[in-house]
Structure 1
Amino acid sequence: MNNHRKPRAAKSALTQRAVRVGLFAAGVAGVAAAVPAQVASAATDGSGHVAVASDHVFTHADRAHHTQARDSFSVRRFGTVNAAGVRNQANAVSAGCSADDACRSVALSFQIVTIAGEHTHLNAVNLSDATNKKCTGCQTLAGAYQFVVSTPRPLDLDDATQRQLADVHRRLDALTRSSLPAADLRQQADGLASEVTGILHDAVANAPKGADQPQVTMHRDLDGWPGH
């Protein structure tokens, strides 16, 4: 089968204390092929602070560009907010290549968001999609990893934590540029995500306590061809 797109499952609440509010802004429109797009902002709507973060990596491989590979590793640090909308997305497309001249399209997006406050309203979206369009034997992988750190009071990521995250970022760049088969690449990306989760858990271990306990929540969405 040459055309592939996975069915989209409904997303669950990010944490027990988080509640979804409204609809988060729809996607990132008009993103140039194979270019990560990043947006982050904090604003006041009259009732308090609202944080918005959006990251999107898109790659498109075809007969003119056989290999397209991009990744994003963003750290969005927001202070105390009343509401937050965070979105992380990876899309990879391979089109029109043949088995003896196959394409490779890899899009990986790691998004880390820190928010603080009691009873913060949170709307989180994390999704990926890998599509083969008449592309026999192509390697196509899209992976979205979203980490939300919620603490009662603003969390300061110290120098040691930032160095550890920067090291993971460097290794993600190297992994994305590698020629590993999609299955191996998926496994190693999962390993890097586990490292990030551990680093963030260590970072919140001594965070100030409040009515709500500090939490680190990771969402993972991977789609790949061949295999899942």
Structure 2
Amino acid sequence: MNLNHHRRAAARVGVGRKAVRFGLLATAGLTAMATAATTAQAAGPGSTAGTGHGVAIANDSAHALANPGNRVRFDDSFTVHQEGTVFAAAAHNLAEADSAGCTAARPCRSVALSFQIVTMAGENIHLNAVNSSNAANHHCAGCQTLAGAYQFIVSTPRAFRLSPTALRQLADIHRRLDALGRSKAPVATVKTQADALAAQVTSILQAAAATAPKGPGIDALAVRTPTVTVHRMYTG
């Protein structure tokens, strides 16, 4: 169920350690977003649609490695999974960046950014969501290494789709994420710009969630409201 995965040469700073975030549906995050596919049709550019047959798996990653032969590396992943109605789901998202063997006189720069969007519908969904990043310098004095993972989990009581307008907006954010690969700005600035893009993704999903169907004859107060859970993890 993966969609677009882009790889570009670019830049970044830092030393790294590993961080992992586990989430159970309806846990903390930046609120409301949503829409899930009701059929197996593709929902538009940059997205995938699930069959809605009960179990969904999403697995996305970005990997960048800089070394003396390739001193500036950038990799990004931006994927939309529309899973439909499910009773169980697993979502794994990873960003991994390494810089190795460069010198202070000729340092490396490695950046990996992964954006994963997963929409699903149903009541009492069992979700295993893992969002992690890992950035490390290996014998690389003065090198810049950054890994950032963003995971957006959308849950609605009833299945529906992201609109063509929302998908176009997300595709535009994807293009701007790709453009960060050409940036020569300090890695702290790249991180700030990626956070700004993530905030725009959240706003788009929140607006989509507001249109989620409640179903005929159902008291809106008695139905679980759409939820957007955002996990953000950086190392570097």
Pairwise same-fold verdict (TM > 0.5) = yes
Q: Are 1:212 and 2:217 matched, yes or no?
A: no
Query: Where does residue 183 of structure 1 map in the other structure?
Result: 188
Q: Residue by residue, what CA displacement relative to the aligned partner does 1:39-77 show, whole Å, maximum 9, x if unpaired? A: x89689xxx610000001111111111111110110001
2:22 to 2, 8, 11: 11
Q: Distance in 1 between matches of 2:50 and 2:212?
A: 22
1:101 to 100, 106, 110: 106
Q: Distance in 2 between matches of 1:71 and 1:10?
A: 19
Runs of 4+ in 1 over 4 A off after TM superposition: 40-44
1:143–1:202 distance in 2 versus 1, CA, 3 Å = same
The Cα shift of 1:145 comes to 0.3
1:72–1:16 distance in 2 versus 1, CA, 3 Å = closer
Higher relative contact order (CA 8 A, sep 6+): 2
Q: Distance in 1 between matches of 2:105 and 2:112?
A: 23
Q: Distance in 1 between matches of 2:166 and 2:50?
A: 23
Query: Where does residue 91 of structure 2 map in the other structure?
Result: 86
Letter in 1 for 2:184: S
1:118–1:195 distance in 2 versus 1, CA, 3 Å = same
Q: Distance in 2 between matches of 1:42 and 1:50?
A: 9
Alignment of 1:65-76 (within 5 A): 65-76=70-81
Mapped contact 1:41–1:51 kept (Cα < 8 A): no
Q: Are 1:134 and 2:139 matched, yes or no?
A: yes
Q: Residue by residue, what CA displacement relative to the aligned partner does 1:139-181 show, whole Å, maximum 9, x if unpaired? A: 1110000001110111211111111101100100001231221
Query: Secondary structure in 1 aligned to 2:22?
Result: coil
Q: Distance in 2 between matches of 1:177 and 1:171?
A: 10
Mapped contact 1:42–1:52 kept (Cα < 8 A): no
Unaligned runs of 5+ in 1: 18-39
Q: Residue by residue, what CA displacement relative to the aligned partner does 1:64-122 show, whole Å, maximum 9, x if unpaired? A: 11111110110001110010000000000000101110111110000000001111111
Unaligned runs of 5+ in 2: 1-13, 29-47, 215-221
2:125 to 111, 120, 125: 120
Normalising by structure 2, we get a TM-score of 0.78
1:57–1:101 distance in 2 versus 1, CA, 3 Å = same
Q: Distance in 2 between matches of 1:7 and 1:157?
A: 33
1:184–1:42 distance in 2 versus 1, CA, 3 Å = same
